[in-house]
Structure 1
Amino acid sequence: MKKFTLMIATGLILFTVGINQAIAQRGGDDKYWERRKEADKKRHEYIREREKKRDEYYRERDKKEAEYYRESAKRRKEYYKERRKHGIPSWARAHRYDARHHVYFRDYRTFYDPYRGGYVYLDGGNWRFSASIPSFMINVDLGRANIRVMNDVPVDRHPEDFYDDYDEEYWEND
């Protein structure tokens, strides 16, 4: 039993001496720890700078996004104000039209633009806008006219800008 206790005590002494020597050797290299501190300092500085840039980017992005939505809401408000002011056209009920899209009157090469509240038509190769029905369509029953609702053109864009994007088959066929 004495031998066993002596062996354990010797083992503990050797173990503590070994750890102390390892710590002493590591601690003796002051340059290592200085370089390590400097590297950690640089890393933390880099991370701080990167986070500042990221936060600035997010602030700018959020500001631009808020401005976009403010302008969008303003345009939408103006659109609905104009729509209430002018009302929907008399022919709209016959076609179950709700003024959310542009309408193309195929037989007359004329668009109804709900955003501007008027008609856009070809006149001598140029597009003209009129707040009222064009003179050549006055005696036409637009409730029975052949129309095409343009779902794929945004309502705040001019429909005549998209005329050349479609081929004649689109405009002539139903």
Structure 2
Amino acid sequence: MNRCQPRTMLTLVMLTGTLLSMPAWCAPPPWAPAHGHRAKERKYIYYPAREIYFEPARRLWFWLDGGSWQFGARLPISIGSKPSGGVSVLLATDRPYEAHDYVVTYYGKGNKAHKPKKEKKDKHSKHD
């Protein structure tokens, strides 16, 4: 028996253990169950004209009432009919009002609602 064989085996065992404990290098496919960051994202419908959110998964409405956010399975009578002109928004929170400043900046509010902003390329940049 060769004297180097036990050291080689020990090295291979340690290397294999190290490789197996490393995290995956790629993201899971879209059809896989969500874990981590993707699991925390929730889809909302934001209605900019009235600053109202609807979360289809939980069938919950979120609205501002007298300076504080309220939520429920139905909109209050004071709001009136179901709003229209909603846009789909993905947020990493179960309380959309926590990201309201971001949503208003990106999608607008009131009658000044607008499409999401897109970055413009600089037409005057020089290429070396």
Task: Report the TM-score, using the length of structure 1 for normalisation.
Answer: 0.43
Which one of 130, 137, 144 corresponds to residue 72 of structure 2?
A: 130
More strand by share: 2
**RMSD (Å), alpha carbons:** 3.9
For residue 69 of structure 1, report the CA deviation from its aligned partner: 2.9
Q: Is the 8 A contact 1:127 1:160 kept in 2?
A: yes
* Unaligned 5+ runs, structure 1: 1-33, 76-99
- The 1-side partners of 2:107 and 2:34 are apart by 36
For residue 155 of structure 1, report the CA deviation from its aligned partner: 9.1
- Name 1:173's counterpart in structure 2: 113
The equivalences for 1:16-165 within 5 A come to: 37-55=2-20, 57=21, 69=33, 101-138=43-80, 140=81, 142=82, 145-151=83-89, 153-154=90-91, 157-165=94-102
* Unaligned 5+ runs, structure 2: 115-128
- The 1-side partners of 2:56 and 2:45 are apart by 8
SS at 1:111 equivalent: strand
Aligned residues: 101
- The 2-side partners of 1:70 and 1:106 are apart by 29
- The 1-side partners of 2:34 and 2:107 are apart by 36
Structure 1 residue runs of 4 or more that deviate by more than 6 Å after TM superposition: none
Task: Report the TM-score, using the length of structure 2 for normalisation.
Answer: 0.54
Deviation per CA, 1:1-49: give whole Å up to 9, x if none. Answer: xxxxxxxxxxxxxxxxxxxxxxxxxxxxxxxxx9xx4344312211122
For residue 132 of structure 1, report the CA deviation from its aligned partner: 0.9
- The 1-side partners of 2:49 and 2:34 are apart by 39
Q: 1:162 to 1:132 in 2, by over 3 A?
A: same
Larger RCO (alpha carbons 8 Å, 6+ apart): 2
- The 2-side partners of 1:165 and 1:54 are apart by 41
SS at 1:147 equivalent: coil
